[in-house]
Amino acid sequence: MVGSLLGTLAIGVTACGSDSSSNTTASTPAGTTSTASGSASGTVDVYSSLPLQGASKDQTNAMVDGIKLALKEAGNKAGGVSIKYQSLDDSTAQAGNWDEQQVGANARKVAQDKKSVALIGEFNSGATKVSLPILNEVGIAQISPANTYVGLTTSEPGSEKGEPAIYYPSQKRTYARIVPRDTVQGGALVTQMKTDGCKAVAMANDKDTYGAGLTRVIGIKAKEQGLNIIGDTGIQPDAANFRGFASKLKGQKADCFFFGGVTANGAIQLYKDVNDALPNAKLYGGDGVCESGFTNPKKDGIPAKVGKLFKCTVATLDLASYPGGKAFIDAFNKEYNDPKPDPYAIYGYEAMKLVIDTIKGAGPDGTSREGFLKALFATKDRDSVLGKYSIDKNGDTTLTDYGLYDVGPDGNPTYASTIKAAG
Amino acid sequence: MGIPAPRPDLATTEAPTTPAAARPKRTNDAIRELLSKWGLLIGLAALPVYFGIHDLTGSQGDLSRLGENMVRGLSNGSIWALIAIGYTLVYGIIELINFAHGDVFMIGAFTAFSFTGTIGLTLVTGPLGLVFGLFLTLIITMMVTGSLNVMIERVAYRPLRGAPKLAPLITAVGFSFILQNVGLLWRGGSQKSVPDLIKHNDEVVNLLGVPINNGDVLAIGVTIPLVIVLTAFITRSKVGKAMRATAQDPDAARLQGINVDTTISLTFLIGGMMAGAAGLIYALYQTSVSFNMGFQAGLIAFTAAVMGGIGNLKGAVLGGLVIGVIQELADNRIGGQWVSAVVFGYLIMIMIFRPQGLIGEQTREAG
C-alpha cells in the first residue's frame, strides 16, 4: 500500500518535473524527456544490489566490473539517455552474506528514486524474495544475473505454494533473469550424476530458498530420469561439524553427494566431513559453491584431495566459447588488467547491455518505467555475448546450457564441458 | 452481577481431603517422588538406551555404532566443557554472564590457526616437530586469550562493579560484537578450512569395533589433564581458595586480606586460557573456523554450564560432555535439523527435574 502510494507520488512528481519544451509521456521519470524524433533523452538511474562482502565477493565484484565495462563502452548513454549507475551492497560484514534488512533498505532506496528504471540483482534468490515485491509495487524492472530459484518466475515443481504470484503484488511481471532457472540446472546435475555412474545419491541443503529449492528440483528430476536419491537433509549451517550426518551416509552406502546451498552456510566443513566418512564418494555442488573461495585451498577453501572429487555447475560456460567472449575478455583485460575474469563478470556485463539496449529499443518510452518493462519483456532473439536468447512472459531466459566445472590445478573452478538436462 | 459459582474442577481441588480422596494424592506424591529421584536419570539415558536396543535388535546387531556416537560426542563435548569452564568461573565469582567469552574462544581458534601457519606446520611436518609446534601453539594461544580476557575485565567490567547488573551484561554483549568484528577483519567473512595437521580421522586404536581417532585422542587428551590441573589449583592452592572465598562473599574475603580485584582478574585469566585451549582443539579437530563460530559455541557452552550447575566447575565439564553426546546422537540418529531442538529439550527437562543443574549450582544465592 505504502509502496503503491510512493509509486503514484513518484509518477506525479515526475510529470511535474518534466521538461516542458518536449513531448513528454506520462509517468516518465523526473529529469527525462522524449524528443519529437521518437528517442528519449534525459537521465535515468540504474542500480545493482549484490553481496559485495563474504564468500561470494569474488563473483559479485567481477559482476560490478562487468556492469561498469558495459556502461563505459556505451559512453554511459543509451541513445540520448544518460545512465547514472550506482552499485549497492546487499550484504553486511556481520552476516558475511546477504542480509534481509540490507536487501530491503536497498530496494526501498531504489523505489524512492524517481529517476530509477532498473535494478540489476539480486545475486541470491532468497534476497530477491525480499526486494522483488518492493520494486514490483512501484513498477521498477529487476534483472537478475544469477538467481536460479524456480518459484521466482514459475509455479513449476520445486516452487512453493503461492509462488510466484506472492512476489508480484501489482500483478504485473517486473522481474527477468538472464541465467536458466533451477529446473534446468537440476536436470543438468542429474544428467551428469547419471553419466558419472552414481547409484545412491545423498543430498543436503542449507534450508535457504536457493539451496532447498535446488535439492527439491533435483529430487523431482532424479525420479524422472531414474536416479536413486537416498535422502535430502536440511543442515544447521552453523553447526560445529557434520560428522554424525556423514557417518549416517556411510551407513546408507552413498556413493555420490550433493549439497544445495552457498559456501557461507557451512559448505566447507560439510564436504570435508562427507569426504572423511566416504573417501571415494563423488561430490557435487550447484552454482552456490562453484567459486574459488570454496574450491581453492590457497583461499582456505576445501583441501585438494576433496577438490579432486568435486564437480559443480554454473550457468556460465567457458568465456571464450561465447559469441562475443574473446572480445569481452580482451576488453576486460584492457580495463582491469585481468586476463582471466571470473565467469560471472560476463553476466554483469550482459545485464547492463540488456538495460542499455532496452532503453534504446523502447524509443520514446525507454526512460519511463512502464516503457522499459514493456521493452524488456518484448526481448526476442537477442544477439548477446551469452548467445541468442529471448525473455519469456515469466521473465525467464530461453538459454538452457549449463557449464560443468571441476577444480583446476590452480585450485579454481575450471570449465570442463557444457551439459544439457535430459528429459 | 452475582458472586460467580465456584468452578467444579477448582471446587474439587479445594474440597477438604477425605480418606478416599487422599489415596490418589498419596499415589501422585509417590510417582512425583519417584520421578524426581529417577526421572532425570531415565530421561538422560532414554536416547542411548533406545538406540542401543534398536541397534542390537536391528540389522546392526551390535553396539559399535552407539559406541562411536558416544566417543564422537565426548570429543565434541570436551571442547564445550573447556569453554563452559570460563562461563561458570566468571558467573561464580561476579555473577556475570560473560557473553564475550564465546568470541574469546573464536579469537583463540584464529590465533592457533594463524600461528601454526606462521611457524610453518604443514601436512608433511614430522611427528616430533608437530608435537612441539602444537604445544608451542597451545601456550601462545592460551597466553593471548587469557590476556585478552583480563583486558576485557579491566576495561569493560571492573568500572561497572558497583553498577546495576544489566550494565555489565550489555557491555559483555558489546564486547562480543567487537571481537566478532576483529575476527571478521582478520580472516574475512567466509568459513576457513584449517589444514588437517593431526590427521584427525586416522584411527589410533579400535575398541570392540569402535574406532578411536587422532582427533578424539587430542580432544580428550588435552581436556582431561587441563581439568584435573585446574580443579587441583582451585581446591588446593592458596589463590584457588581466595577465588572460592571471593565467589562466596567478596566483602568477607576482602576483610580477610584477599585482593578481590586481583582474584577476579585471575579468574578471567584462567577462563580465557581455557577458551584458548578449546580454540586450538576446535581448529584441529573440526578443521574449519569462522568469525561467527563464537556465538553458537558460546550458547552451547553456557547451556552446558547451566545444565551442569552454574558456578560449579565439575558441573560445567559434565554439562559439556552431556551436550556433546546428545548433539552427536541427534545428528547421527534423528537428523541435523533437530540437533538444537533436542539439546534444548534436554536442558528444559533437566531444569524441570533439577533446577539447580546436574551437580548443583555454586553461587552466592545457592551457597
pLDDT digits (tens, 9 = 90+) for B32-45: 777 777 777 888 88
Chain B contacts to A (CB-CB under 8 A): 65, 68-69, 72, 76, 79, 177, 180-181, 184, 187-196, 201, 282, 286-288, 290-293, 295-297, 327-333, 335-337, 339-340
Q: Is the per-residue pLDDT at A215 higher than 90?
A: yes
Contacts of A264 in chain B (CB under 8 A): 189-191
Q: Is the per-residue pLDDT at B11 higher than 60?
A: no
A279-337 pLDDT tens trace: 999 999 998 899 888 999 998 999 999 999 999 998 888 877 787 888 899 999 999 99
CB contact under 8 A, A247 and B332: yes
CB contact under 8 A, A244 and B195: no
> Is residue B6 classed exposed, middle or buried when 0-12, 13-18 and 19+ CB atoms within 10 A define those classes?
exposed
CA Rg value for chain B: 24
SS3 content of chain B, % helix, strand, coil (to 5): 75, 5, 20
Tally the C-alpha atoms within 13 A of residue B138's C-alpha that lie toward its C-beta.
17
- Going by pLDDT thresholds of 50, 70 and 90, the confidence category of residue A35 is very low
Strands (E), B282-349: 288-289
Nearest to A268 by CA among B336, B108, B102, B290: B290
What confidence score (pLDDT) does residue B276 get?
A: 96
**Would the ipTM clear 0.85, i.e. be above it?**
no
CA distance B100 to B106: 10
Q: Which residues contact B87 (CB under 8 A, 6 or more apart)?
A: B97, B98, B101, B271, B298, B301, B302, B305, B310, B316
As a whole number, mean pLDDT of residues B133-145 equals 96
> Is residue B52 classed exposed, middle or buried when 0-12, 13-18 and 19+ CB atoms within 10 A define those classes?
middle
Grid cell in block for residue A20: 516542458
B172-219 pLDDT tens trace: 999 999 999 899 889 877 789 999 999 998 999 999 889 999 999 999
Cβ atoms of A144 and A175 within 8 Å: the answer is yes
Percent of chain A with pLDDT over 70: 90
As a whole number, mean pLDDT of residues B22-34 equals 70
> Is residue A82 classed exposed, middle or buried when 0-12, 13-18 and 19+ CB atoms within 10 A define those classes?
middle
B272-309 pLDDT tens trace: 999 999 999 999 999 999 988 998 899 999 999 998 98
Q: Is the per-residue pLDDT at B2 higher than 70?
A: no
Distance, in angstroms, between A203 CA and closest chain B CA?
Answer: 13
Contacts of A243 in chain B (CB under 8 A): 72, 328, 331
Cβ atoms of B91 and B316 within 8 Å: the answer is no
Chain A contacts to B (CB-CB under 8 A): 53-55, 57, 91, 93-97, 204, 207, 233-236, 238-245, 247-248, 251, 263-264, 266-269, 272, 276, 293, 297, 300-303
What confidence score (pLDDT) does residue B364 get?
A: 62
Nearest CA in chain B to A239: B296
Distance, in angstroms, between B184 CA and closest chain A CA?
Answer: 7
Own/partner long-range contacts of A15-22 (Cβ < 8 Å, ≥24 apart)? A17/A114
CA Rg value for chain A: 22
Phi, psi dihedrals of residue A281, rounded to the nearest 5°: -70, 140
CB contact under 8 A, A269 and B287: yes
CB contact under 8 A, A272 and B193: yes
Query: Which of B365 and A270 is assigned the larger pLDDT?
Result: A270
Cβ atoms of A257 and A203 within 8 Å: the answer is yes
Give the one of B193, B201, B336 whose C-beta lies nearest to A268's C-beta. Answer: B193
Contacts of A55 in chain B (CB under 8 A): 189-191
What confidence score (pLDDT) does residue A2 get?
A: 37
Nearest to B157 by CA among B142, B174, B141: B174
DSSP string, A39-73: -EEEEEEEEEEE--SSTTHHHHHHHHHHHHHHHHH
Grid cell in block for residue B206: 579400535
| Cβ atoms < 10 Å from Cβ of B135 | 10
Give the one of B192, B295, B337 whose C-beta lies nearest to A235's C-beta. Answer: B337
Nearest to A371 by CA among A8, A5, A16, A38: A38
Give the one of A93, A266, A302 whose C-beta lies nearest to B184's C-beta. Answer: A93
What confidence score (pLDDT) does residue A4 get?
A: 40
- Going by pLDDT thresholds of 50, 70 and 90, the confidence category of residue A342 is confident
Distance, in angstroms, between A56 CA and closest chain B CA?
Answer: 9
Cα angle A407-A126-A408, degrees, rounded to a multiple of 5: 5
Rounded to the nearest 10 degrees, what angle do helices B313-329 and B214-236 cross at?
A: 160
- The three-class DSSP label of residue B142 is helix
CB contact under 8 A, B192 and A268: yes
Q: Is the per-residue pLDDT at A421 higher than 70?
A: no
What confidence score (pLDDT) does residue B154 get?
A: 95
Cβ atoms of B277 and B78 within 8 Å: the answer is no
Q: Is the per-residue pLDDT at A202 higher than 70?
A: yes
CB contact under 8 A, A55 and B190: yes
CA distance B41 to A30: 72
CA distance A84 to A356: 11
First to last CA, chain B: 52
Say which amino acid occupies B101: H
CB contact under 8 A, B195 and A303: yes
Nearest CA in chain A to B69: A244
Tell me which of A92, A252, A269, A289 to substitute to probe the interface with B (most B C-beta atoms closer than 10 Å): A269
Cβ atoms of B303 and B319 within 8 Å: the answer is yes
Say which amino acid occupies A61: N
Q: pTM for the whole thing?
A: 0.80
Q: Which residues contact A91 (CB under 8 A, 6 or more apart)?
A: A51, A52, A53, A54, A56, A97, A98, A99, A102, B189
Nearest CA in chain A to B331: A244
To the nearest 10°, report the CA torsion of B22, B23, B24, B26.
Answer: 80
Contacts of A293 in chain B (CB under 8 A): 190
Distance, in angstroms, between B273 CA and closest chain A CA?
Answer: 21
Contacts of B180 in chain A (CB under 8 A): 94
| Cβ atoms < 10 Å from Cβ of B256 | 11
CA distance A192 to A215: 15
CB contact under 8 A, B336 and A207: no
CA distance B9 to B11: 5
- Going by pLDDT thresholds of 50, 70 and 90, the confidence category of residue B101 is very high
As a whole number, mean pLDDT of residues B85-90 equals 91
Instruction: Average the pLDDT over each of A251-265, A321-335, B2-16, B308-322 and give the range with the smallest value.
Output: B2-16
CA distance B340 to B102: 17
Q: Is the per-residue pLDDT at A37 higher than 80?
A: no
CA distance A315 to B25: 70
Distance, in angstroms, between B193 CA and closest chain A CA?
Answer: 5
Q: Is the per-residue pLDDT at B22 higher than 80?
A: no
Nearest to A159 by CA among A205, A125, A124: A125
Nearest CA in chain B to A55: B190
Give the one of B291, B335, B336 whose C-beta lies nearest to A96's C-beta. Answer: B291
What is each CA distance from B184 to B99, B107, B115, in whole angstroms? Answer: 18, 10, 17
Distance, in angstroms, between A311 CA and closest chain B CA?
Answer: 19
CA distance B266 to B271: 9
| Cβ atoms < 10 Å from Cβ of A192 | 22
Cα angle A125-A147-A189, degrees, rounded to a multiple of 5: 105
Look over chain A and give the mean of its residue pLDDT values, rounded to a whole number.
87
Look over chain B and give the mean of its residue pLDDT values, rounded to a whole number.
87
Contacts of B188 in chain A (CB under 8 A): 96
Tally the C-alpha atoms within 13 A of residue B366's C-alpha that lie toward its C-beta.
17
Contacts of A54 in chain B (CB under 8 A): 189-190
B71-85 pLDDT tens trace: 999 999 999 999 999
> For residue A337, how far is the Cα from the chain centroid?
25
Q: Tell how many helices (H) and how many strands (E) occur in chain B.
A: 14, 4
Cα angle B66-B68-B70, degrees, rounded to a multiple of 5: 70
What confidence score (pLDDT) does residue B360 get?
A: 77
- Going by pLDDT thresholds of 50, 70 and 90, the confidence category of residue B14 is very low
Cβ atoms of A286 and A185 within 8 Å: the answer is yes
Give the one of B190, B286, B331 whose C-beta lies nearest to A96's C-beta. Answer: B190
A108-157 pLDDT tens trace: 999 999 999 999 999 999 999 999 999 999 999 999 999 999 999 999 98
Distance, in angstroms, between A360 CA and closest chain B CA?
Answer: 40
Q: Is the per-residue pLDDT at A77 higher than 60?
A: yes
What confidence score (pLDDT) does residue A376 get?
A: 97
CA distance A222 to A213: 14
CB contact under 8 A, B201 and A239: no
Contacts of A247 in chain B (CB under 8 A): 68, 72, 332
Tell me which of B191, B198, B214 to substitute to probe the interface with A (most A C-beta atoms closer than 10 Å): B191
Distance, in angstroms, between B207 CA and closest chain A CA?
Answer: 18
Tell me which of B74, B291, B331, B343 to substitute to probe the interface with A (most A C-beta atoms closer than 10 Å): B331
Percent of chain A with pLDDT over 90: 67
Q: Count A/B contacts: CB-CB distance under 8 Å.
A: 112
